[in-house]
Amino acid sequence: MTGVGTNRVAIIVDGRAVAADVEPRTLLADFLRDTCGAVAVHIGCGEGTCGACTVALDGIAVRSCLMLAVQADGGTIVTAAGLAALDGPPDAQNLTPLQLAFRAHHALQCGFCTPGILVATALFLRANPHPTRAEIVDHLSGHLCRCTGNVPIIAAIEAAAGATAP
Amino acid sequence: MTRPLRFGTRTPRREDPDLLRGEGKFLADLIPQGALWLTVVRSTDAHAIILGLDAEAAKAMPGVAAIVTAADLPAGLGHLPCVDLIDTSLPVFHPVLAGERIRYAGQPIAAVVASTPAQAEDAAAAVIVATRKLAPVLSAADALRPESPWLYPELGTNAVHVTRQLVGDPDAAFSVAALVVEETVAVHRVGAAPMEMRGCFGEVEPGSGRLVLTSTTQIPQSVRAHLAEILTRPAESILVRAPRLGGGFGLKEAMYPEEVLVLLLAERLGRPVAFLEDRREHFRSAVQAREETIRIRAAFAVDGTATAVDVACLADIGGAYGLVANAPGAAIANARGGYVMPNFRSVATSVVTNKPPLNVYRGAGHPQAVLAMERVMDKAATALGIDRAAIRRHNLIPAWMLPLDRGISYSGLPRQILDSGDYVHAFDMTLEAIGYAAFPARKAAFEAAHPRRKLGLGLSFMVEMTAVGPDEPAEIEVLPDGRVRLHAALTAMGQGIETVLGQVVADTLGIDLDAVEISLADTDRIPFAVGTYASRGGAVGGSAAAKAGKALIEVATDLGADLLGVDRSAVEWSEGAIVRRDGTNEPLPLVELARLAASAGRADALRASVRFAVPDTSFAYGAHAAIVEVDTGTGVVTVLDYAVTHDCGRLGNPMIVDGQIVGGVTQGIGATLYEEIAFDAAGRPLTQGFFDYPIPVAATAPRFHLLHLETPSPHNPLGMKGAGEAGFTGTPAAITNAVADALGQDLPLTRDPGPLSPARIRALLREREVAQAAGFSA
Amino acid sequence: MKPAPFAYERPSDVAGVLALLGDGGPQKAILAGGQSLVLALARRARTPELVIDINRIAGLDAITVDGEGCLVIGATARLEEVRVHPAVRSGWPLIAEALGLVANPVVRRRGTLVGNLSNNGPGCEMAAVALVLDAEFVVERLGSDPSRVPSAIFLTLGGTVGFVTAVRFPPPSPGGFAFVELSRRPQHVCTLGAAVQLGPAGPVIALAGFATAIRCTAAEHASTPEALRAALAADLAGAGSADTLDEYRHDVAAVLVGDALAVARSRAA
Ligand code: FES
Ligand code: FES
């Protein structure tokens, strides 16, 4: 490891400040899981295709497996565990409207893909509160779910969008 | 007075809140602090002799704790298991680490353990493996050619496992047949590709010295038993746990070398050792599925009656046995599915090749067998000039004929007695749902408007073994706070088992769902069980849970009478409480009983342990139909509509069952149209990740039309059959038949392996154009 | 899937990048969006000694129309920002249409257009667009003035030419346009993509999907479907192989280009 050294990374994860020295090669996904304990960040591929590791970095959805931790230095991260920061207020079980819509529509089975989809969808609905079905399908192009057949996920997002209608 | 039953309702899932908050506690979330990390050095050659291994430089790298090769493994270490061997099976077992010969690219050669995953990878990259390459054998057909090398030279053959079935006198039926239809159905290699990859970690339990494996497995109890054999140590000294799985689909119904390695290394190094697969590794080291070629011949009378079927199946099982030696064989034995077909012969041969091991995946061999049979039905209908739906209705087993013993016996499987249902009715419901009668008009209108595009409708009918035995254990206990905890041996992998079991226990005891806790897949609690596969969890696990609940009612009522100082006959159980039969006094609710029992020092009495013996297999069935659009210019196939009528007995939770069907059909669409694990000419995997393995997404979802029949299974008190595999099983057949309907039954869609990709469709259309231009067309 | 060790620098200006980059070579890697590079690092397909992160260089993410009417897209401008940019949508709609097919919305928010074109991976849609629109690349090297490299040259050299600070598209020619593509599965990696821009001199056509994108000049003069088929056969005669699907690409090229031309003409009408 001679010559590569470490870099200081200070970020805020779901409202909690974390700082640590990491090797430059440390991936953001690994940093979030191993150093920050953010286990809502799921690694389904490590190659940027599945979307399970998606987190919000300064309000933008990113694949945490395709970023170096050092790149996120100074940033604010939201994972599915802190979804309320991106979505409506949570209920008594700490579930936001989007999470409740997923539950009501059986839009998760094993739930491994779910955190990434929730984060990306919360940001998507912020930018586009009343999407068409085609826009939802396009939005989901970056997320793989092996269990549900995706139809219930589309339905849940439609319902969540409808629920926030003005 | 009576509380509404949970069973049969769309009860929201109990596992959802944790999962939605990202608190799912998957395997990767449970790895202990301070664990060392295992990386496996894998062969890059498909077929080779290992000449030498040099790990000296690697051993000196930062963070490295150990590097282990086959030579360093304990003497007498066993190989990975195979559970369906018969007398004539040849020994082609998977070693934990390759010793002398490499039989597939991806096979483990050495284990590297270091402080971090990155350091383990650094060192793995520095391990030098010298090999002498051998010619690879890359298909079952190749493997049987006389000039092909043998993967196990000492055996003198690559055909290692053969099973046969014979019912009636097929030869006699063929000799008088009005029509004999022959078809070759080549099915390509795919993978279950759950979103959570494989992982495991091993620890040594302080004090007891027991080895503790936590693994992404659907079969923790079996893994424990196999580990005991492999490690030659008593099963009591091994503990296996399965956390929630991020999907299983059969890929985690296997045993993997890493499960052995993490235990050996944890014991040797005195620290926990963890392994997490990566996605590229996944496509060369996790079990693969489906690859086989079926030759099917069927005899028909002029009226369309199928009188005999003869099937031969050649499965390309890779370089060694998976957990099962012949996944296709069991299903090919059931190739007749829901059709009467009195005379039957099958032979299923497993052939070793230089590819990763083949194992089961959702539906095991059933989807391939159904595809073969349903192609034959379409061909026969065309040849005889009979409507495709009519020929199927004509041959489907009528309801009055059930139960029907198929006369099949298959090693390791129970008798094949189709139990119950109304196949014809289900089939008719699907015809209605897909709009069969109106389809010709729809097709004509569409094709007139889109000259390059064709519509096709495909049908299939599937019958499948579900809810298999032999038995299923359950334990139940009342906690000090009056809540009830059920311990089941099953693994949670997205199928909602915690919800379904909770529904059953709540109903049985007459208590709130919230008062029921479910604990799963811990061999410390329940050491012996068979596992979670073959669509068995809900039906047999639910039945065991119901039995446990009833047993608990008995002991609780006994204890209640005792503590109240009344005669046992004076009290009974009602709505989660002990009540006096004469109606006097307040009911004694479970929470009070638990308190009384505790203060009397008898809390231990409030528990029961049962085993539900499955008397016979339940056969679920379903009728599928698909409508596809094919662009003949580009070869692109789009599934527009998909209808399924399924009968999995009583629906414990219709929402969950629908989810299983839609999810299964979707995987079937993926395997039929998009997915393929491919290899280059040297046998090296071309599939590196999802870039090369396009699974279905939201954009590929058809319109679904789901219907159910609920014929109770006679084989369990809940009347349930299984639903986990039904969606997939009928799908390749329905879609392939739909494409054939669109493009012509003469197009040889199944002659060669591979998905019905745009490139394959175009190649087949071009081939036909060339043949027609040359005047060869029929 | 963990990168090999490397050092990391985050210069704050272009001069800093040039100083670190020196003569370039495989030991140095420029990190922009990282949507290809980080995967290559994780798979150890690339093992540079130094990764130069250009994401915090002020102004490098600009999307502007310059004095000559050219669209200039800076090295850290994200694909999605380019796609939704009003000037792009109105003046260079072919870019926006093709970008809608690149990767997925999340990757597009991070990945950059310059990075996408510098990698020019298999099925790179934007490479075909760059050929059709005659884009040029602004390349800086230590000690010399910025140079402009035409697409036809840049796409064969890739990121090895120096530090690409921007890609430049000439003023738009008003006319119909279309980008259509085929893939193994909807929304998957592009197997074959056709970019068409109608201009005063007729259509300009390029195909993405072979080893690199190919400008199809013969096809631009074809007037019947049969002629198009023959012309494309000539255009693609020397196409480099991408993978096992080449035969399919040759087979369907004429159909795909025909579809793209039809869409473009319907928009021109
Ligand atoms: S783990 Fe990052 S996209 Fe799959
Ligand atoms: S719910 Fe299992 S992968 Fe989506």
Above 80 in pLDDT, residue B366? yes
B654 and B582 in a single domain? The answer is: no
Q: Running DSSP on this structure, what letter comes out for residue B298?
A: E
Residue B685 CA to ligand 2 center (angstroms) comes to 26
Report d(CA A74, CA B711) in Å as an integer.
61
pLDDT at B615: 86
Q: How far is CA B651 from CA B513, B618, B624, B725, in A?
A: 18, 14, 19, 15
By the CB < 8 Å criterion, does C1 face chain A?
yes
By the CB < 8 Å criterion, does C45 face chain A?
no
Instruction: Using the structure block, give the residue that is written with the tokens 């272009």.
Output: C14
Q: In Å, how far is C194's CA from the nearest CA of chain B?
A: 13
Per DSSP, the residues of chain A read -TTT--EEEEEEETTEEEEEEE-TT-BHHHIIIIIS--TTS--S-SSSSS-TTEEEETTEEEEGGGSBGGGGTT-EEE-GGGGGGTSS---TTS--HHHHHHHHTT--SS-SSHHHHHHHHHHHHHH-SS--HHHHHHHGGG---SSS-SHHHHHHHHHHHHHT--
pLDDT at B36: 98
Above 90 in pLDDT, residue B326? no
Secondary structure in 3-state letters for B104-133: CCCCEEEEEEECCHHHHHHHHHHCEEEEEE
For B223, other C-beta atoms within 10 Å of its C-beta total 27
B528 and B639 in a single domain? The answer is: no
Above 50 in pLDDT, residue B60? yes
pLDDT at A88: 87
Q: Running DSSP on this structure, what letter comes out for residue B515?
A: G
* Alpha carbon of residue B422 to chain centroid: 25
Most confident of B117-126, B563-572, B599-608, B718-727: B117-126
For A12, other C-beta atoms within 10 Å of its C-beta total 16
pLDDT at A165: 44
Q: Look at A71 and C31 and tell me if their CB atoms are within 8 Å.
A: yes
Report d(CA B395, CA B391) in Å as an integer.
6
B463 and B518 in a single domain? The answer is: no
Mutate to test the pocket of ligand 1, among A41, A42, A43 (most ligand atoms within 8 A of CB): A43
Mutate to test the pocket of ligand 1, among A62, A65, A117 (most ligand atoms within 8 A of CB): A65
By the CB < 8 Å criterion, does B280 face chain C?
yes
What CATH number is attached to the domain comprising A117? 1.10.150.120
A32 and A88 in a single domain? The answer is: no
**Amino acid symbol at B671:** A
By the CB < 8 Å criterion, does B63 face chain C?
no
B647 and B546 in a single domain? The answer is: no
Q: Look at B279 and C1 and tell me if their CB atoms are within 8 Å.
A: yes
Nearest-Cα residue of chain A relative to residue B22: A40
In a domain, B1, yes or no: no
B620 and B545 in a single domain? The answer is: no
Q: Look at C248 and B763 and tell me if their CB atoms are within 8 Å.
A: yes
> Do you know the residue count of chain A?
166
In a domain, B147, yes or no: no
Indicate the pLDDT class of residue B414, thresholds 50, 70 and 90: low
Contact residues on chain B for A115, CB-CB shorter than 8 A: 22
Both tokens of B40, joined, read 């496996």
B571 and B658 in a single domain? The answer is: no
Overall average pLDDT of the A26-53 stretch: 97
B623 and B767 in a single domain? The answer is: yes
B588 and B672 in a single domain? The answer is: no
Q: Running DSSP on this structure, what letter comes out for residue B73?
A: S
* Alpha carbon of residue B220 to chain centroid: 15
Q: Which residues contact C23 (CB under 8 A, 6 or more apart)?
A: C142
ipTM: 0.96
Q: Which chains touch C (3 or more CB pairs under 8 A)?
A: A, B
A129 and A63 in a single domain? The answer is: no
In a domain, B157, yes or no: no
Secondary structure in 3-state letters for B316-363: EEECCCCCCCCHHHHHHCCCCCCECCCEEEEEEEEEECCCCCECCCCC
B397 and B503 in a single domain? The answer is: no
In a domain, A59, yes or no: yes
Boundary (domain end) residue, out of A82, A98, A132 = A82
A90 and A157 in a single domain? The answer is: yes
Q: Which chains touch B (3 or more CB pairs under 8 A)?
A: A, C
In a domain, B176, yes or no: no
Overall average pLDDT of the B139-154 stretch: 96
Chain C, 108 to 137: residues with Cβ < 8 Å from chain A are 109-110
By the CB < 8 Å criterion, does A149 face chain C?
no
Report d(CA B78, CA B177) in Å as an integer.
52
By the CB < 8 Å criterion, does B278 face chain A?
yes
Q: How far is CA A27 from CA A66, C38, C56, in A?
A: 7, 9, 18
- Give the tens place of pLDDT for each residue, B277-322: 999 999 999 999 999 999 999 999 999 999 999 999 999 999 999 9
In a domain, A166, yes or no: no
Above 50 in pLDDT, residue B745? yes
pLDDT at B374: 98
A11 and A66 in a single domain? The answer is: yes
Listed residue (B485, B468, B562, B572) closest to B525, CA to CA = B485
Strand partners, C99: none
Q: Look at A25 and C109 and tell me if their CB atoms are within 8 Å.
A: no
In this structure, the residues whose C-beta lies within 6 A of any atom of ligand 2 are: A 108-114, 145-148; B 195, 247, 494
Pick among B10, B16, B25 to test the A interface (most A CBs inside 10 A) = B16
Listed residue (C206, C182, C177) closest to C264, CA to CA = C177
pLDDT at B150: 97
Above 90 in pLDDT, residue B1? no
Residue A53 CA to ligand 1 center (angstroms) comes to 5
What CATH number is attached to the domain comprising B338? 3.30.365.10
When the pLDDT of each residue in chain B is averaged and rounded to a whole number, the result is: 94
Of A30, A48, A61, the CB nearest to C35: A48
Contact residues on chain C for A46, CB-CB shorter than 8 A: 1, 42
In a domain, A2, yes or no: no
Nearest CA to ligand 2 atom 3: A145
Indicate the pLDDT class of residue B564, thresholds 50, 70 and 90: confident
Of B247, B280, B701, the CB nearest to A112: B247
Residue B31 CA to ligand 1 center (angstroms) comes to 20
Q: Before B403, cis peptide (omega within 30)? A: yes
Mutate to test the pocket of ligand 1, among A33, A57, A63, A113 (most ligand atoms within 8 A of CB): A63
Boundary (domain end) residue, out of A19, A47, A82 = A82
Boundary (domain end) residue, out of B285, B309, B337 = B285
A90 and A75 in a single domain? The answer is: no
Check if the beta carbon of residue B43 is closer than 8 Å to that of residue B105. Answer: yes
Overall average pLDDT of the B86-99 stretch: 96
A98 and A74 in a single domain? The answer is: no
Report d(CA B619, CA B415) in Å as an integer.
11
Of A39, A93, A109, the CB nearest to B659: A109
Q: Running DSSP on this structure, what letter comes out for residue B367?
A: H
Boundary (domain end) residue, out of B285, B310, B344 = B285
In a domain, B188, yes or no: no
Overall average pLDDT of the B482-505 stretch: 91
A16 and A32 in a single domain? The answer is: yes
In a domain, A64, yes or no: yes
By the CB < 8 Å criterion, does A161 face chain B?
no
Report d(CA B629, CA B458) in Å as an integer.
11
**Which region, left, alpha or beta, applies to residue B679 given φ > 0 means left and ψ of -120 to 50 means alpha?**
beta
Above 50 in pLDDT, residue B446? yes
A70 and A11 in a single domain? The answer is: yes
Pick among B9, B14, B18, B20 to test the A interface (most A CBs inside 10 A) = B20
Boundary (domain end) residue, out of A49, A82, A115 = A82
Determine if ligand 1 sits within 6 Å of the CB of residue A144: no
B607 and B644 in a single domain? The answer is: no
Above 70 in pLDDT, residue B436? yes
- The answer to which of B117-121, B381-385, B639-643, B714-718 has the lowest mean pLDDT is B714-718
Q: Which residues contact B297 (CB under 8 A, 6 or more apart)?
A: B174, B180, B181, B182, B309, B310, B311
Report d(CA C4, CA B122) in Å as an integer.
7
Instruction: Using the structure block, give the residue that is written with the tokens 């003949």.
Output: B632
Strand partners, B316: B351
Pick among C10, C30, C35, C38 to test the A interface (most A CBs inside 10 A) = C38
- pTM as predicted: 0.96
Listed residue (C120, C118, C119) closest to C139, CA to CA = C118
Nearest-Cα residue of chain C relative to residue B118: C2
Ligand number nearest CA of A120 is 1
pLDDT at B778: 45
Q: What are phi and psi of C62, to 5 degrees?
A: -70, 145
Angle (CA) B8 B13 B14, round 5°: 120
Domain span at B317: 292-467+616-773
**Amino acid symbol at C75:** A
B338 and B363 in a single domain? The answer is: yes
Domains of chain C: 7-53 (3.30.43), 63-169 (3.30.465.10), 177-268 (3.30.390.50)
Domain span at A100: 84-161
A88 and A139 in a single domain? The answer is: yes
- Give the tens place of pLDDT for each residue, B589-622: 998 999 988 888 888 889 999 999 888 888 999 9
Q: How far is CA C79 from CA B286, B672, C186, in A?
A: 35, 33, 20
Check if the beta carbon of residue B647 is closer than 8 Å to that of residue B622. Answer: yes
In a domain, B5, yes or no: no
Nearest CA to ligand 1 atom 3: A48
Above 80 in pLDDT, residue B576? yes
Residue B141 CA to ligand 1 center (angstroms) comes to 38
- State whether residue B62 is helix, strand or coil: coil
A89 and A78 in a single domain? The answer is: no
Mutate to test the pocket of ligand 2, among A45, A54, A109, A117 (most ligand atoms within 8 A of CB): A109
**Amino acid symbol at B382:** T
CA Rg value for chain A: 16
Q: Look at B762 and C5 and tell me if their CB atoms are within 8 Å.
A: no
CA Rg value for chain B: 28
pLDDT at B776: 61
- The answer to which of A19-33, B92-106, B267-281, B708-722 has the lowest mean pLDDT is B708-722
Angle (CA) B503 B507 B508, round 5°: 115
A95 and A52 in a single domain? The answer is: no
**Overall domain count for chain A:** 2
Boundary (domain end) residue, out of B569, B596, B613 = B613
Q: Look at B674 and C185 and tell me if their CB atoms are within 8 Å.
A: yes
A89 and A133 in a single domain? The answer is: yes
Pick among C36, C124, C188, C228 to test the B interface (most B CBs inside 10 A) = C188
In a domain, B180, yes or no: no
Of B16, B22, B699, the CB nearest to A81: B22
Q: Look at C106 and A5 and tell me if their CB atoms are within 8 Å.
A: no
Report d(CA A138, CA B373) in Å as an integer.
37
Residue A51 CA to ligand 1 center (angstroms) comes to 5
Both tokens of C50, joined, read 């130094």
By the CB < 8 Å criterion, does A69 face chain B?
no
Determine if ligand 1 sits within 6 Å of the CB of residue A120: no
B262 and B219 in a single domain? The answer is: yes
**Amino acid symbol at B647:** D
Q: Which residues contact B714 (CB under 8 A, 6 or more apart)?
A: B403, B419, B420, B618
Report d(CA B287, CA B193) in Å as an integer.
10
Cβ-based interface (< 8 Å): residues of C facing B:
1-5, 43-44, 182-189, 191, 244-245, 247-248, 251-252, 255-256, 259
Nearest-Cα residue of chain B relative to residue C252: B634
What CATH number is attached to the domain comprising A36? 3.10.20.30
Indicate the pLDDT class of residue A164, thresholds 50, 70 and 90: low
- The answer to which of B384-393, B435-444, B721-730 has the lowest mean pLDDT is B721-730
Per DSSP, the residues of C69-133 read S-EEEETT-BHHHHHH-HHHHHH-HHHHHHHTTSS-HHHHHH-BHHHHHHH--TT-HHHHHHHHT
Indicate the pLDDT class of residue B585, thresholds 50, 70 and 90: confident
pLDDT at B605: 87
Tell how strand A60-63 and strand A54-57 pair up.
antiparallel
pLDDT at A166: 39
In a domain, B142, yes or no: no
Sequential pLDDT tens for chain C (269 residues): 899 999 999 999 999 999 999 988 889 999 999 999 999 999 999 999 999 999 999 999 999 999 999 999 999 999 999 999 999 999 999 999 999 999 999 999 999 999 999 999 889 999 999 999 999 999 999 888 999 999 999 998 866 778 999 999 999 888 999 999 999 999 999 999 999 999 999 999 999 999 999 999 999 999 999 999 999 999 999 998 889 999 999 999 999 999 999 999 999 87
**Amino acid symbol at B699:** A
In a domain, A1, yes or no: no
